[in-house]
C-alpha cells in the first residue's frame, strides 16, 4: 500500500475516534475518577459490585460530556442555554434578584434530566450586567414554583435588544450549580458559562419584542436550537405539546 494512502487511512481512523468520543468537561473528571476508585474498592468486597460501579462510572463520564456545537450567529435570535425539553412558555414576572422589574416577561424553560448534557451556554451575545445567587429548596425542577422557590443562580445579560435573564435552577437531584462567569464579562452567543450537576432546569426571561420559536415538549439543543426571535413579522409560534 502506498505511503500516502496509509497516511490518509491513519488520519481517517484518528478523526473517527475523535468524533466518536465526546470530550468530558474539566469539572467532571474528579467525579469520574471518584466513581472509578469506588468501583475498584467495591470490587475487593464483591466482584459484581465492581462491574456495577464501572457502569456508573461510564454514566458519569457521559453526564459530563461537553460536545462542540454549531451556533447560529445572529443578534436577533435567542438560542437554548441547555439541552433538554421545553417545559414552559409563559409570560411571568422575573425573580426579584434579577432586578428586571415587575412587569411580566416571556419566560422559556428547558428541563434537563440526568441523561442530558449539562453544560450551559449563553443564549445571546452581550455583557454580563448582574449575577445573583439565591439559596432555596430542591423541588422537582419541572414544577412551575421551582422558579421562585428552588436554589438558583441568575445572570442578566445586556444585549442589543435590552436585558435578558438566564437562570440556572437546581432540582431534586441537582445539588450544585456551577457558574464561572462574573459581572462585566463579555459572552458570545453559545459560549459556555456554567453547568448544573445531575438534573435541573434553565429559565430564559426575554423583554418585549421577543417571539417564541419553540413548542412545549420540543427537544432543545444548547447553543443550536432557536428558542425565540426579535424583530420578526411572523408572530409567535403556537405553543403546543409535541
Q: Which domains does the chain have, with CATH numbers?
A: 3-63 (no CATH), 77-230 (2.70.70)
Backbone angles phi, psi at 122, to 5 degrees: -65, 130
Rounded distance between C-alpha atoms, residue 154 and residue 143, angstroms: 18
Place of cell 409563559: 90
How far is residue 82 from each of residues 30, 94, 181, measured CA to CA in Å? 22, 19, 16
Catalytic residue list contains 215: no
The pTM of the whole model exceeds 0.95: no
Catalytic-labelled residue, pool 200, 212, 215, 232: 200
- Full pLDDT tens readout for the chain, 242 residues: 555 544 544 444 444 334 445 677 677 677 778 888 888 888 888 888 888 888 988 877 776 777 888 999 999 999 999 999 999 999 999 999 999 999 999 999 999 887 888 889 999 999 999 999 998 777 766 777 777 778 899 999 999 999 999 999 987 765 678 898 999 999 999 999 998 876 689 999 999 999 999 999 999 999 999 999 998 766 655 444 43
Q: Provide CB contacts within 8 A for 61, sequence distance 6+.
A: 24, 28, 32
DSSP symbols for 197-238 = SSSEEEEEEE-TTEEE---TT-EE-TTTSEEEEES-SS-PPP
Amino acid at each position: 500500500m502506498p505511503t500516502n494512502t496509509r497516511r490518509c487511512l491513519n488520519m481517517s481512523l484518528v478523526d473517527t475516534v475523535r468524533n466518536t468520543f465526546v470530550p468530558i468537561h474539566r469539572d467532571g473528571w474528579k467525579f469520574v475518577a471518584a466513581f472509578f476508585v469506588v468501583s475498584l474498592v467495591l470490587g475487593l468486597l464483591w466482584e459484581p459490585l465492581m462491574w456495577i460501579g464501572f457502569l456508573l462510572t461510564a454514566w458519569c463520564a457521559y453526564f459530563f460530556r461537553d460536545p462542540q456545537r454549531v451556533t447560529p450567529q445572529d443578534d436577533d435570535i435567542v438560542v437554548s442555554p441547555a439541552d433538554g425539553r421545553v417545559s414552559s412558555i409563559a409570560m411571568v414576572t422575573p425573580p426579584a434578584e434579577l432586578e428586571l422589574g415587575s412587569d411580566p416577561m416571556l419566560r422559556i424553560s428547558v428541563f434537563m434530566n440526568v441523561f442530558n448534557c449539562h453544560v450551559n451556554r449563553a443564549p445571546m451575545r452581550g455583557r454580563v450586567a448582574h449575577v445573583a445567587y439565591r439559596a432555596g429548596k430542591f423541588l422537582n425542577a419541572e414544577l412551575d414554583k421551582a422558579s421562585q422557590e428552588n436554589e438558583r443562580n441568575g445572570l442578566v445579560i445586556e444585549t442589543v435588544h435590552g436585558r435578558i435573564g438566564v437562570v440556572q435552577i437546581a432540582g431534586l437531584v441537582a445539588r450544585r450549580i456551577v457558574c464561572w462567569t462574573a459581572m462585566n464579562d463579555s459572552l458570545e452567543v453559545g459560549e459556555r458559562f456554567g453547568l448544573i450537576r445531575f438534573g435541573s432546569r434553565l429559565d430564559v426571561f426575554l423583554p418585549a419584542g421577543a417571539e417564541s420559536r419553540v413548542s412545549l415538549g420540543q427537544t432543545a439543543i444548547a447553543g443550536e436550537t432557536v428558542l425565540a426571535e426579535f424583530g420578526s413579522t411572523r408572530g409567535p409560534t403556537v405553543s403546543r405539546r409535541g
